A and B are shown apart, each in its own frame.
Chain A
Amino acid sequence: MIVLWGSNARETHPIFFHHVLRALKRGAKLYVVDPRVTSTARFAHRHLPVRVGGDIALANSIAQSVLSEGLENRAFIARATEDFDAFAKLVSHYTPERAEAMSGVDPSLVRELARDFATADRAMICWTLGITEHHHAVENVWSLINLALLCGQVGRYGAGLNPLRGQNNVQGGGDMGALPHKLPGFQDVEDPDARGKYERSWGATIPPNKGWTLTEMFRAMERKELTALWVIGENPAQSEADAHHVRGLLAGLDHLVVQDLFLTRTAEMATVVLPACAGFAESEGTVTNSERRVQRVRRALPPPGDAKDDLWIVAQMAKRLGRDFGEPTAEALWDEMREHSPLHRGMSYARLEAMGGIQWPCPDDQHEGSPFLHERLWEEPVRGPKAPFHPCEHKEPAEALDDEFPLRLTTGRRLSEFNTGVQSKGLASPLVKDEALEVSPQDLAALSLLEGQRVRVRSRRGAVEVPVRVDRGLPKGLVFLSFHQPESVDTNLLTIEATDPRAGTAEFKAAAVRIERCE
């Protein structure tokens, strides 16, 4: 059984979805939880049309159903988890009937998913940004983890919790410590032992405290504590929520360096632009995919003009800052990294080549990699800490709908495009259409609009003009925009920067808007 929650994988992870399709042919059951009837939902046995922001209430009502029918895995709960009682008490208030007002999902569908999930031999929950782009992103994820713990659907082959990564090395960035609180291999920067290993190896001192998340950086810019910024391969001027505000902050910096392949909107604002190589085709290295598989990228082409490899740029920057890194190769750096990261230690370039990539943890050069995690939860007794339940109450989106802004805007990706379009805008797919605001047939009629008519979509933060297009997969009251064509439709002028306090993700999935006619 596969639950795709807040994920339109058919369009956003097409080759992952091939694996899902293969499982369906072998008899797996697919549930899709999404406010829209997406192309993914059309392949599902059951589609649960969750209200935007209703995920916690839905997950809690599934848990309530499991518990009320006695389908929980009590032996697993007793051995491998903690805080179950508090969780059971909290979810007891979320009967499917009561939760429907919050989640929007018919109680019979909730009970059906609950029974199938609890009784499946192997069930997996996969999610993407429909779960994480909310101001309660972490609680959304906890709610899904709770379900897996409740039914023992974790730590076994074919079961588990699987966040589908949206970019080719977002996992690898985390692996390598491109997080404010981690060193390579997810070692805590505030742990003196972990820090010490690197300090001895590098002959340098590492700041002992964790840094800022992206959203915290913008707050620090507001306070004028952050005055210089080096942006590598990111286009925050168009990708961040509440774009007007973000552009103002970037413009107010003393010094902005942008290292990119393209002269992006952010690069246009930069003091200095460093032209870089295309990672996948013009440089050597590794990336880590969504299943934690480290794979090699290789240079197939010489980079154009003055474009330089990221490694070269960083080494030159270090040199000018008074430290000579020499001219390290990607492999030499990788070998240094894995010396200190137990998760990666067994992954030499030779083994990555021979095995077609390796999934971490891979602690030594005999280890074959790890297709799944958390197997220890099935050991008797459990080694290490038990997995805690995190009871979470339903929360409404940060911005409530009202008479002034009565429609819910949610944003997402389309098949042939990618993020702010800098890479994909040269892709001449006939499927790429001019961006349009997708509305339900009911809203189109209620607003007396015609398909193709240009409208102004306004939120409390900004407005964009865009033609409307009917999507029969949308429920009444919900409208959809992608953020792929910011040059013509600057969607993130509308979105809200309400962020999750722990993860720092903004609520791209839920803004309040109204539609005005363009005169």
Chain B
Amino acid sequence: MRTEKPKGRDGGLVQIERMIELEVDGRAVRVPEGSTILDACKKLGVDTPTLCFAENLTPVNACRVCVVELEGSRTLVASCSRKAEPKMVVRTDTERVRSSRKMVLELLGSSVNMSAAGEFENWCSQYHAEPERLGTPSHAPAVIDNDLFVRDYSRCMLCYKCVEACGDDAQHTFAIVMTGRGGEAKIATEFDVSLPESACVFCGNCVGVCPTAALQFRREHTLREAGEWDLAKQTVTKTVCPYCGVGCVLELHVQGDEIVRVTSPSDSSVTDGHLCVKGRFGWGYVR
């Protein structure tokens, strides 16, 4: 015979949120234990560029564009992953931080087509980065091996987000990995087979997290190739997936009365920003 178990809304688990106080650019800030320096920066409204970071993925410290100066640390630290600690003194606006970010932007921008990477161009002017002085990225045609999404390697900055979303941060399909070393490194399927021949289940969660449009919806790719892709003409409407009963929140990106892309907000308690093949791609019937 067993005794009764704890009852209540939290199942008897009491979550105590400890707060940590640190200093960023001379200002004190309190964040819950477990927060990162980036969280503290956000709380203070300190604008910090990020590329390989996503709210719904484990930080991998690949791009180094979010680095900050931390008192007592020999090197700059990645703010997206470094946990905040009591009494930390962080500086985000020093010459060292600025020149490091500038270098990262120039290295990325000279090796990869970053033109579709969100704020990239704004950051370049903010940090006086001139990628072209180091060279211009080479072009290669996108890999089109299925009707749902394309892989444009000339835009891939090797940020690992797609690998994480496909792997144990969300989808657990493990269809893609980083292969090769140094200049040969690239994201690939097992034995570099086409996506339809791989373990891919076409959830498109890799597309959803890609920061540079290296992974694009097929329709998006067609529009970009034709020079018709125009964010200014797009509306984004939040709604709910029409398929199973999980109720995934969808953001329908519409251009010219046509759905051109579907995403899910990473702060949705239902999806954490991830979708399945039907939610991501199964809207063709409304066109």
Contacts and interface: CB of A to CB of B under 8 A. Distances in A.
Interface string B255-287: 001110000000111111011111101111110
A171 B252 CA distance: 23
Nearest to A16: B246
Given A15-B246, A152-B5, A159-B11, A427 B277 contact: yes
A74 B252 contact: no
Contacts of A429: 148, 202, 277, 281
Contact of B247 (A289, A418, A430): A289
Interface residues of B, number: 64
B99 interface: no
B245 A281 contact: no
B60 interface: no
Interface string B215-250: 000000000000000000001011111111111111
B7 A300 contact: no
A293 B3 contact: no
A interface bracket (residues with beta carbon within 8 Å of B): 35 or more
A296 B286 contact: no
Contact of B11 (A70, A122, A282): A122
Given A14-B276, A73-B2, A156-B7, A430 B196 contact: yes
B162 to A, nearest CB: 16
A280 B146 contact: no
Given A290-B247, A415-B277, A427-B278, A280 B240 contact: yes
Contacts of B74: none
Nearest to A372: B9
Given A166-B245, A280-B242, A300 B1 contact: no
Nearest to A293: B247
B10 interface: yes
Contacts, number: 198
B247 A167 contact: no
A295 B202 contact: no
A281 B195 contact: no
Contact of A290 (B148, B235, B245, B272): B245
B124 interface: no
B11 A280 contact: no
Nearest to A426: B284
Contacts of B247: 168, 287-291, 293, 295, 357
Q: Which of B3, B254, B278, B286 has the most CB of A within 10 A?
A: B286
Nearest to B281: A427
Nearest to A302: B257
B192 interface: no
The DSSP consensus for interface residues of chain B is loop
B203 interface: yes
Given A280-B250, A301-B254, A424-B278, A295 B5 contact: no
A430 B254 contact: no
A431 B202 contact: yes
Contacts of B252: 281, 300-301
Nearest to B205: A18
A15 B279 contact: yes
A156 B11 contact: yes
A300 B10 contact: no
B9 A371 contact: yes
A230 interface: no
A262 B285 contact: yes
A12 B244 contact: yes
A138 to B, nearest CB: 20
B8 A156 contact: yes
A356 B269 contact: yes
23 contacts: A13-B245, A75-B4, A165-B244, A165-B245, A166-B244, A166-B245, A168-B244, A170-B245, A278-B242, A278-B285, A280-B240, A280-B241, A280-B242, A299-B237, A301-B258, A356-B249, A375-B8, A415-B201, A416-B202, A424-B278, A427-B277, A427-B278, A427-B282
